[in-house]
Amino acid sequence: MEEIILPDLSAIQLKAASHLVREGRVRGRFLIHRVLLKKIEDQASQGDTMAMDGLRDLVEACEEMKVKLDYVGDLRDRERSDRLLIVEEAARLNAKILTCDPVMAQLAESTGLRLLYELPPPPFSIAQLFEEGVMSIHVKEGLPPRVKRGIPGRWRFVEVSEKPVSRHELELLIAHLMREAYKSFGVDAFLEIDKPGVKIFQLKDYRVVITRPPFSDGFELTVVKPVIRRDLRDYYLPPQVVDRLENRAEGILIAGPPGMGKSTFAQALAEYYRSLNKVVKTIESPRDLRVSPDITQYSKTAAKQSELHDVLLLSRPDYTIFDEIRDSSDFDLFIDLRLAGIGMVGVIHATSPIDAIQRVANRVDVGLLPSIIDTVIFMDKGEIQSIYVLEMTVKVPAGLKKADLARPTVIVKDLLTDEPLYELYVFGERTFVVPIKKLEERKKPRAPIRQIMNTLQKHIPDFRIEEEGNLIRIYIPGRYYRVYVRKVQNKLLKIARKYSLTLEALPS
């Protein structure tokens, strides 16, 4: 009896069907569903000719190898799912399904149909590119593949080939990764985001990010693998730091620019708390921290904020590692869980420790700040650059003189030297961040600062001022920056010229 092969769109598009024909592995008859022909036509009319090229290649291969090719199905079914149509037609004709789609393969197997899950060889092996020192692989349609080689903070981009990667080759790479992922979803692989323009999943140690138009301007694949896994002892922390982390720190921010080793340190800290018999959970997006199995990893993208909140309150972990805090809902969840008494470790992008503190301070009353964050660890090039601690007191803030101006003030100190570095306090309706050292060293009178503040307050309800010698920096929320340019900028420049000051206004 003649064997019937029914390819789906993925098998045509990735040229798996024509590849099997040319290898002589298929000698039966190919049947293509007419709904797929319509879809191929629609894609071509929108400028995507990859499936059309695959169909042309299959027709040519069948002619070369004398393999029969015909068409089945009814175009009136085009509103239904492609996968269901292929499954129903295969069951009716007793055909074998040919696919490169892992979902189709699982569907066919679950319904007891015969299956050929085949992929042509990839243009190169992702695993082979991850040689020693490679942090990530970057492949974009029309460009040579590149790798990021080095360590956090000290790396460089290197082209691994001069040949640009075609759309077909990129899709083939993605299909091979997806096949590996679907073999172990829920165990060694986790699908975090699956939308028409973007797909993010974790495959063992690999974090895979796939973007397509219109989400991105081209097809792109990024694969990231942790270069190192470190123990807390590898950071050679002074005893007072270890004592702080073990006995006193319950609201920790791990801050730094991207790629500086924040998540690596968070991972080491999670394992350290686990070794102390603490119950540790993580909130991640995607789940790519390499931690022990008894540390439960929650996906932020797979759950609503309220669900994460309820689960963590009910399960009562000693520490929750939040990797990474990005938007307002993340900050709200971090703050709420910390105020509920759960130890929190948050990973946050920031250019300096005080910037990380300020991002939380803008969302709460200053008096609550040390109850939410008590320790800030700033990472640079994979190592700890500085550690700040926060304390609350009532005093006359630095820069003010009258005793009746005493108020709750947050003092930010260097943990190792116990030296006060900043003070945060509320004056009027605004929160001020005052650098202590710069305040002590300042020679210019307070008059220009008062004039700048008075001018700003007339038009902008929220801002922050920092002084560095004759340089005055004003941080203005982005939503007020146009107001600053139109109504305030020229007035402040006149004040700056009067007192021989340099003025910088930056959106915050």
Q: Name the DSSP class of 248.
A: I
Neighbouring C-alpha atoms within 13 Å toward the C-beta of 472: 25
Write the pLDDT tens digit of every residue in 207-216. 899 998 888 8
Neighbouring C-alpha atoms within 13 Å toward the C-beta of 117: 17
Q: Which residue, among 371, 437, 439, 431, has the nearest Cα to 407 in the 3D structure?
A: 431
How do strand 29-33 and strand 4-7 relate by DSSP bridges? parallel
Look at residue 439 in the predicted model and tell me its pLDDT: 47
What average pLDDT score do residues 8-32 get? 91
Look at residue 140 in the predicted model and tell me its pLDDT: 94
Write the pLDDT tens digit of every residue in 314-330. 988 999 999 889 989 99
Q: Write down the pTM of the prediction.
A: 0.68
Average pLDDT of the chain, as a whole number: 88
The separation between the first and the last C-alpha atoms of the chain, rounded to the nearest angstrom, is 72
What average pLDDT score do residues 285-291 get? 78
Burial class (CB in 10 A: 0-12, 13-18, 19+), 464: buried
pLDDT at 444 exceeding the cut of 60? no
CATH number of 442-508: 3.30.70.1770
Adjacent-strand bridge partners of 380: 383
pLDDT at 270 exceeding the cut of 60? yes
Tokens in use for 251?
């609201």
Tokens in use for 25?
């592995």
Please say whether the beta carbons of 201 and 192 come within 8 A.
yes
What average pLDDT score do residues 74-87 get? 85
Distance CA 465, CA 504 (A): 10
Please say whether the beta carbons of 93 and 31 come within 8 A.
yes
Distance CA 43, CA 41 (A): 5
Contacts of 65 (CB under 8 A, 6+ apart): 21, 22, 24
Distance CA 176, CA 422 (A): 53
Look at residue 398 in the predicted model and tell me its pLDDT: 75
The CATH number of domain 4-117, selected from 3.40.50.1010, 3.50.50.60, 1.25.40.10, 3.40.50.1100: 3.40.50.1010
CATH number of 126-224: 3.30.450
In 428-462 the beta strands, taken as DSSP E runs, fall at: 430-435
CA 322, 323, 324, 329 torsion-angle sign: negative
Adjacent-strand bridge partners of 98: 7, 116
Q: Do 4-117 and 232-435 have matching folds?
A: yes
Radius of gyration of the chain (CA): 30
pLDDT at 101 exceeding the cut of 50? yes
What average pLDDT score do residues 425-445 get? 68
Tokens in use for 407?
């108020």
Write the pLDDT tens digit of every residue in 160-208. 889 999 999 999 999 999 888 887 766 677 777 888 889 888 888 788 9
CATH number of 232-435: 3.40.50.300
Distance CA 221, CA 116 (A): 26
Look at residue 438 in the predicted model and tell me its pLDDT: 58
| Cα dist from 406 to 340, 397, 398, whole Å | 29, 7, 10
Look at residue 445 in the predicted model and tell me its pLDDT: 44
Q: Where do the H-state alpha helices sit in 184-294?
A: 239-243, 262-275
pLDDT at 246 exceeding the cut of 90? yes
403 band by pLDDT with thresholds 50, 70 and 90:
low
What average pLDDT score do residues 140-160 get? 86
Look at residue 18 in the predicted model and tell me its pLDDT: 93
pLDDT at 67 exceeding the cut of 60? yes
What average pLDDT score do residues 469-480 get? 85
Write the pLDDT tens digit of every residue in 349-401. 999 999 999 999 989 988 899 999 999 999 988 889 999 999 999 888 876 77
Residue percentage of the chain with pLDDT more than 90: 47
Residue spans per domain, the chain: 4-117, 126-224, 232-435, 442-508
Look at residue 288 in the predicted model and tell me its pLDDT: 74
pLDDT at 443 exceeding the cut of 50? no
Q: Give me the residue label for tokens 């085009």.
A: 78
Adjacent-strand bridge partners of 344: 251, 320
Look at residue 442 in the predicted model and tell me its pLDDT: 45
